[in-house]
């Protein structure tokens, strides 16, 4: 057994999160694509079957009340809250991330007031955030300016209404400094909107602690909610009374079954709701969140860094110098829970890795992306992935 | 056996759709709330279990391609298309009805051009359409005017950009004249946006035939897609190149995996997509649509009218004159697939009906609402419902 394999074995033996792996349905594949679609939590299939057969099939319409369907968006929001450092009552689940970016950004611009006519958006953002930011700017009569997160402090001005940033860059895995950037945005009198897709469930976020104004995130990556599971919207409690949604659907009405022709927004997190929630996907997510019982985000973060450190070490040992180049920062303070490697023939390499049971993904034009979900990825997985990568690259 | 019960028996024996009932999971309840949440199609539970256990649990990320997840929104749109009289390539499934109303109305206003500054909305609409229309008007700088469908022809002018109408009124069950109203809207040079929530799957719609511009609808009523199953958006083929979405998420990009920072809209129906589709709910819907195999919408319409006629007849026979008053029009041309009865103590009456195994719903302040899904409601059901209603009211 190689030295790295021995190290992996030791690390697994000492890993306090190792038992959590059994809460997932896994096979002999090394699955390093949990930052795209999280693995299936073992509790989900039976729960979904119950939702379909009993709640829908037998109780039917009664389930809106008796099975808690109606209140699911805010109930599940409260289940996500501790994972992102939020007190209850500030998160609502529903719609896609894109739709929630739209709600958050338009609402932020409205809160900033008429005098502020510019929106800043992370130039390296996942594309949808940029597209939606452009639409929000167009519809609210603001201008949109794309800047890198590093440029944000100098780009801020009295014109800035809101800034839309990604906590972790989807491509490079770079972790941005949420506390410092939020403080800079606030110092300029603007609102900070964060996209947590690549951080929630992988590292501490501290929404309340750092005074984030609004945030959105998906639930199908590190939160393992299933394909296209609904996203969430966080609105800081003090801002909720001023949250003026551009999508004021009947589910966000103060008295939805009053069927009033005039709109009156609900108080609190439900103000972020829109239409009828997709119950099957939503309750699958609720079940999936049970894997977090007894798990601390700080333990997850510690393991995440250990996994990515170990992967970088193994890759360095197993590949020719210069064959791949890490794009993800070395410094822990700047690293999310993935490692991106630049590699000229990345598309072809990833195909061969997948054929050999190591699943990551390829990001155009030349990035191999490996996500490390601390709840189910082991150090042995990491060693094997780097070993197979070395063989494929050789 | 009463005369009405005999009639019911005869009608069931002659009903060509009677065998379709076995495609649903039903019990001894008379379920007349399929216009709120359709009953469970028998094929759905196993299909959903496969999506969860195999497609997500085993194939994981590969399912986006191998299990056809990525193309589901337009594939399922094409499955809905014949039910609403649309040729393929014009419908995309995803998001809630409210979100689709927003897309459709903003896009319609943009197509109408700068010179047209007024949106007309059905004053009797399901509330969410009115709330969203107000937001669309606010964000596009138009004014919103609520008028009844009957007032639309006289309210139209050179100022009118778009008109948002309901095909069937959710409360009264009144069917509006889609061909005539669409023609009137077109004659004024405006765009017609129809909400099909209470008509699709219950009666012929004829979107293509009548030149409807845009349409939206939910799938959890007469299409039996399950609680909160995704809605759909129809954009007439000739208008697709001009469809300018206010929610241009990455799923609507011409090259979504190119991850370009600049937006370029996809051609065709996918232009109406936004973010990652909720696969569990979406594929449950796809399975649910199989109950339509071999079923013609005209047969459904014929049975629907026979059921509602029979219900009115039974109610008249079983209740004291004046105790309840039908709100739904007598004329077939003006009737959807539900019967609404005004009844002073409707809330209490509906509770007692439900306790006795007849499930309809109550609409504030004084309406008993009974939906008739021709795929699984029998004439015996109708006779029993009216009989129990008579007993409860006595």
Q: Which of A236, A270, A292 is the last residue of a domain?
A: A292
Of the candidates A6, A21, A334, A348, the one whose C-alpha atom is nearest the C-alpha of residue A199 is A334
Looking at chain A, the whole-number percentage of residues with pLDDT higher than 90 is 97
Do residues A137 and A251 share a domain?
yes
For B249, the closest of A98, A248, A275 (CB atoms) is A98
State how far residue B3 is from chain A, nearest Cα, in angstroms. 32
Whether B117 maps to a domain, the answer reads: yes
Q: What is the pLDDT of residues A300-355, one digit of tens each?
A: 999 999 999 999 999 999 999 999 999 999 999 999 999 999 999 999 999 999 99
Contacts of B290 (CB under 8 A, 6+ apart): B23, B41, B43
Mark whether B195 is an active-site residue. yes
Contacts of B234 (CB under 8 A, 6+ apart): B84, B86, B90, B91, B207, B212, B214, B215, B216
Do residues B103 and B169 share a domain?
yes
Mark whether B50 is an active-site residue. no
Whether A206 maps to a domain, the answer reads: yes
Q: What pLDDT does residue A124 have? A: 87
pLDDT at A1 over 90: no
Do residues B108 and B228 share a domain?
yes
For A205, the token pair is 């976020």
Pairing of strands B361-363, B367-371: antiparallel
Whether B32 maps to a domain, the answer reads: no
Q: Mutate which of A45, A46, A52, A107 to test chain B, going by most B C-beta atoms within 10 A?
A: A52
DSSP reduced 3-state for B121:
strand
- Considering the candidates B24, B31, B170, B220, report the single residue annotated as catalytic: B220
Bridge partners (DSSP) of residue B191 are B162
pLDDT at A125 over 90: no
**With 0-12 CB in 10 A as exposed, 13-18 as middle and 19+ as buried, what is A323?**
middle
Of A259 and A74, more confident: A74
Contact A53 B36 (CB under 8 A): no
Do residues B239 and B340 share a domain?
no
Q: Which domain holds residue A360?
A: 3-17+296-393
Contact A228 B97 (CB under 8 A): no
What CATH number should be reported for the domain holding residue A110? 3.40.640.10
Q: Mutate which of B26, B34, B52, B124 to test chain A, going by most A C-beta atoms within 10 A?
A: B52
Q: What pLDDT does residue A266 have? A: 97
Q: What pLDDT does residue A239 have? A: 98
Instruction: Write out the DSSP string of B99-119.
Output: HHHHHHHHHHHHHH-TT--EE
Q: Which of B243, B263, B292 is the last residue of a domain?
A: B292
Do residues A169 and A186 share a domain?
yes
Do residues A282 and A378 share a domain?
no
DSSP 8-state class, residue A68: -
For A131, the closest of B52, B64, B263 (CB atoms) is B263
Do residues A142 and A270 share a domain?
yes
Determine contact, residues A363/A61, Cβ cutoff 8 Å.
Answer: no
In B, which residues are within 8 Å of A37 by CB distance?
A: 56, 60-61, 64
Do residues B188 and B251 share a domain?
yes
Whether B36 maps to a domain, the answer reads: no
Whether B41 maps to a domain, the answer reads: no
Q: Which helix (H) or strand (E) holds A119?
A: strand A118-122
CA-CA distance, A337 to A304, in Å (whole number)?
6
Bridge partners (DSSP) of residue B346 are none
Contacts of B105 (CB under 8 A, 6+ apart): B119, B132, B133, B136, B162, B164, B193
Whether B30 maps to a domain, the answer reads: no
Contact B253 A49 (CB under 8 A): no
Determine contact, residues A249/B132, Cβ cutoff 8 Å.
Answer: yes
Do residues A236 and A364 share a domain?
no
Bridge partners (DSSP) of residue A145 are A120
Instruction: Write out the DSSP string of B278-313.
Output: -HHHHHHHHHHGGGGTT--HHHHHHHHHHHHHHHHH
- Could you tell me if residue B381 is left (phi over 0), alpha (psi between -120 and 50 degrees) or otherwise beta? alpha
For A33, the closest of B49, B61, B361 (CB atoms) is B61
Determine contact, residues B134/B142, Cβ cutoff 8 Å.
Answer: no
Contact A57 B63 (CB under 8 A): no
Do residues B198 and B230 share a domain?
yes
Q: Which of A292, A310, A325 is the last residue of a domain?
A: A292
State how far residue A278 is from chain B, nearest Cα, in angstroms. 4
Q: What pLDDT does residue A364 have? A: 87
Structural domain count, chain B: 2
Q: What pLDDT does residue A348 have? A: 97
Q: What is the mean pLDDT of residues A153-172?
A: 97
Instruction: Give every residue of chain B whose pLDDT is below 50, as ranges.
Output: none
State how far residue A33 is from chain B, nearest Cα, in angstroms. 7
Q: What pLDDT does residue B126 have? A: 86
Do residues A114 and A126 share a domain?
yes
**With 0-12 CB in 10 A as exposed, 13-18 as middle and 19+ as buried, what is A206?**
middle
Q: What is the mean pLDDT of residues A379-394?
A: 97
Q: What pLDDT does residue B291 have? A: 98
Do residues A251 and A325 share a domain?
no
For B57, the closest of A40, A128, A280 (CB atoms) is A40
Mark whether B376 is an active-site residue. no
Half-sphere exposure for A371 (CA within 13 Å, toward CB): 31
Whether B170 maps to a domain, the answer reads: yes
Which residues of A are annotated as catalytic? 126, 195, 220-221, 369
Residues B208-247 as b/e (b if ≥16 CB within 10 A, e otherwise) read bebebbbbbbbbbbbbbbbbbbbbbbbbbeeebeebbbbb
What CATH number should be reported for the domain holding residue B372? 3.90.1150.10
Q: Mutate which of B64, B98, B244 to test chain A, going by most A C-beta atoms within 10 A?
A: B98
For B249, the closest of A31, A96, A281 (CB atoms) is A96
Question: How large is the ipTM?
Answer: 0.97
CA of B97: which chain A residue's CA is closest?
A: A275
Contact A49 B48 (CB under 8 A): yes
């Amino acid at each position: 057994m190689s030295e790295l394999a021995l190290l992996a074995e030791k690390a697994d033996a000492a890993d306090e999160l190792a038992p959590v792996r059994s809460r997932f349905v896994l096979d002999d594949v090394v699955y390093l694509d949990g930052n795209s679609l999280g693995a299936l939590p073992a509790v989900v299939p039976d729960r979904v079957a119950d939702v379909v057969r009993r709640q829908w099939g037998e109780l039917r319409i009664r389930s809106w009340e008796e099975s808690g369907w109606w209140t699911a968006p805010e109930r599940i929001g409260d289940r996500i809250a501790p994972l992102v450092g939020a007190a209850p009552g500030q998160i609502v689940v529903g719609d896609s991330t894109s739709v929630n970016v739209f709600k958050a950004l338009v609402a932020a611009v409205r809160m900033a007031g008429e005098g502020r006519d510019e929106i800043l958006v992370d130039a390296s953002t996942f594309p949808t955030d940029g597209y939606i930011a452009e639409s929000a700017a167009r519809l609210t009569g603001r201008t949109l300016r794309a800047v890198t997160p590093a440029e944000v402090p100098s780009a801020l001005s009295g014109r800035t209404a809101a800034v839309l940033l990604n906590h972790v860059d989807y491509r490079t895995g770079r972790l941005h400094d949420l506390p410092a950037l939020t403080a800079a945005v606030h110092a300029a009198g603007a609102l900070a909107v964060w996209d947590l897709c690549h951080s929630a469930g992988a590292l501490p976020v501290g929404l309340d602690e750092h005074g984030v104004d609004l945030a959105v995130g998906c639930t199908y990556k590190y939160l393992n909610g299933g394909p296209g599971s609904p996203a969430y919207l966080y609105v800081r409690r003090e801002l909720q009374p001023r949250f003026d949604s551009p999508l004021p659907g009947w589910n966000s009405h103060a008295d939805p079954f009053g069927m009033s022709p005039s709109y009156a927004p609900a108080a609190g997190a439900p103000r972020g709701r829109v239409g009828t929630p997709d119950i099957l996907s939503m309750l699958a997510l609720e079940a999936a969140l049970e894997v977090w019982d007894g798990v601390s985000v700080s333990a997850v973060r510690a393991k995440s860094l250990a996994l990515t450190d170990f992967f970088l070490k193994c890759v360095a040992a197993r590949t020719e110098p210069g064959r791949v180049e890490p794009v993800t920062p070395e410094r822990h303070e700047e690293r999310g829970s993935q490692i991106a490697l630049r590699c000229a023939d990345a598309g072809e390499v990833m195909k061969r890795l997948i054929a050999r049971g190591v699943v990551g993904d390829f990001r155009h034009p030349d990035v191999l992306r490996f996500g490390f979900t601390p709840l189910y990825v082991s150090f042995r997985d990491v060693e094997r992935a780097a070993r197979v990568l070395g063989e494929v690259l050789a």
